[in-house]
């Protein structure tokens, strides 16, 4: 099967810094996402969370539900408690026909705090990875029984950020735990997304395609910005507008047939969402075709 192309509403309305695109109606986001060439979209904070209402909204827009982010707290609570907390989100995904759960540990994360530089992000000690991995694996195995693939999102400002973090996480988790490859967060965090695609191809179940502006990234690192300051200053952009080698990344994903999602958060006042969404979709489809994924 060929890949499918989706997007995320974060280009229109940011989830972590809600004044970015705060006045943009959900209907505008959905209309422009369809116009830009996407067939699906991930959840955002403006979406209804009742199944029938969500079906109506997405059906009117002609878009499928790709997936939705879930903030876990397995450093603070047991797997069975996490599974109970997860239940409404899981049921919503199932009702809308999504088989991907985007999962990330955020109990001590800093990515949503503009006042905290990335140097203050949490880190796990070597001895703590095993237990954390076992907890994530237990949740993943439970949701897999319901036909949902848990895909872990490595993310700036969290315990799984760097190449070393990703390696430790993947080593400490079982096969039920899939990896969400995010090209932008990998690059920002110092990991090579091409290497990640090659090393974890068999466990990659979802891909977020965002590009990185080299100059802004250098400033963010040199000045120790917060994650949200980096976003506001334009660190991320859509595929083909930055430094990520997408042909090489997709070239390592032979046989992948999931979603390729353009998820490139920017300030919509600086980067027109429709313009960039259209550019990103066209570029990504071209790269995927050249890599024989589409």
**Could you tell me which residues come within 8 angstroms of residue 123 by beta carbon, excluding any fewer than 6 positions away?**
159, 165
Confidence at residue 276, expressed as pLDDT on a 0 to 100 scale: 98
204: Cα within 13 Å, side-chain hemisphere? 27
* Mean pLDDT to the nearest integer, 41-58: 98
Two tokens at 283? Answer: 């570029």
Q: At what angle do helices 79-95 and 51-61 cross, to 10 degrees?
A: 40
* Mean pLDDT to the nearest integer, 44-69: 98
Q: Quickly list DSSP for 164-216.
A: HHHHHHHHHS-TT-EEEEEHHHHHHTT--HHHHHHHTGGGEEEEEE-EE-HHH
Dihedral Cα 144, 165, 82, 209, nearest 10 deg: -60
Asked if residue 215 has pLDDT above 80, the reply is yes
Q: What is the mean pLDDT of the chain?
A: 97
Two tokens at 241? Answer: 């507008």
Asked if residue 104 has pLDDT above 90, the reply is yes
Strand partners, 262: 7, 209
pLDDT band at 56 (very low <50, low <70, confident <90, very high): very high
* Mean pLDDT to the nearest integer, 12-20: 94
The C-alpha atoms of residue 57 and residue 48 are separated, in whole angstroms, by 8
* Mean pLDDT to the nearest integer, 261-268: 96
Q: At what angle do helices 163-172 and 129-144 cross, to 10 degrees?
A: 60
Two tokens at 138? Answer: 């237990």
Whether this model's pTM surpasses 0.95: yes
**Cα→Cα distances 7→70, 256, 260, 261, 266, Å:** 17, 18, 8, 5, 13
Asked if residue 1 has pLDDT above 90, the reply is no
* Mean pLDDT to the nearest integer, 268-285: 97
* Mean pLDDT to the nearest integer, 233-239: 98
Query: Which tens digit of pLDDT belongs to each residue from 25-35?
Result: 999 999 999 99
Chain position carrying tokens 């140097």 = 119
**Could you tell me which residues come within 8 angstroms of residue 83 by beta carbon, excluding any fewer than 6 positions away?**
139, 142, 143
DSSP 8: -
Asked if residue 99 has pLDDT above 90, the reply is yes
Instruction: Annotate 159-196 with b (16+ C-beta within 10 A) or e (fewer).
Output: bbbbbebbbbbbebbeebbbbbbbbbbbbbbebbbbeb
Beta strand pairing status for 236-237 and 178-182?
unpaired
Strand partners, 104: 71
Could you give all domains of the chain from N- to C-terminal order, each with its CATH number? 4-290 (3.20.20.150)
């Amino acid at each position: 099967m060929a890949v499918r192309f989706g997007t995320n509403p974060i280009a229109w309305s940011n989830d972590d810094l809600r004044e970015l695109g705060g006045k943009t109606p959900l209907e505008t986001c959905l209309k422009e996402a369809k116009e830009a060439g996407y067939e699906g979209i991930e959840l955002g904070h403006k979406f209804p969370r009742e199944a029938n209402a969500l079906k109506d909204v997405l059906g009117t827009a002609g878009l499928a539900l790709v997936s939705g982010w879930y903030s876990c707290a397995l450093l603070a609570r047991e797997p069975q408690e996490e599974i109970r907390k997860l239940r409404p989100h899981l049921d919503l995904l199932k009702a809308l026909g999504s088989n991907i759960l985007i999962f990330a540990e955020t109990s001590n994360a800093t990515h949503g705090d503009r006042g905290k530089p990335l140097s203050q992000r949490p880190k796990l000690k070597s001895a703590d990875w095993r237990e954390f991995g076992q907890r994530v694996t237990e949740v993943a195995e439970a949701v897999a029984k319901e036909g949902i693939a848990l895909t872990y999102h490595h993310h700036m400002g969290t315990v799984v950020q760097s190449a070393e973090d990703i390696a430790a996480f993947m080593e400490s988790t079982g096969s039920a735990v899939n990896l969400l490859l995010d090209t932008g967060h990998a690059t920002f965090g110092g990991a090579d997304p091409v290497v990640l695609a090659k090393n974890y191809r068999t466990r990659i179940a979802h891909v977020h395609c965002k590009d990185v502006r080299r100059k802004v990234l250098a400033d963010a690192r040199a000045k120790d910005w917060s994650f949200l300051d980096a976003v506001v200053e334009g660190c991320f952009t859509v595929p083909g507008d930055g430094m990520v080698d997408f042909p090489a990344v997709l070239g390592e994903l032979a046989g992948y047939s999931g979603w390729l999602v353009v998820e490139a958060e920017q300030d919509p006042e600086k980067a027109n969402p429709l313009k960039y969404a259209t550019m990103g979709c066209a570029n990504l489809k071209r790269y995927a075709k050249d890599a024989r994924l589409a």
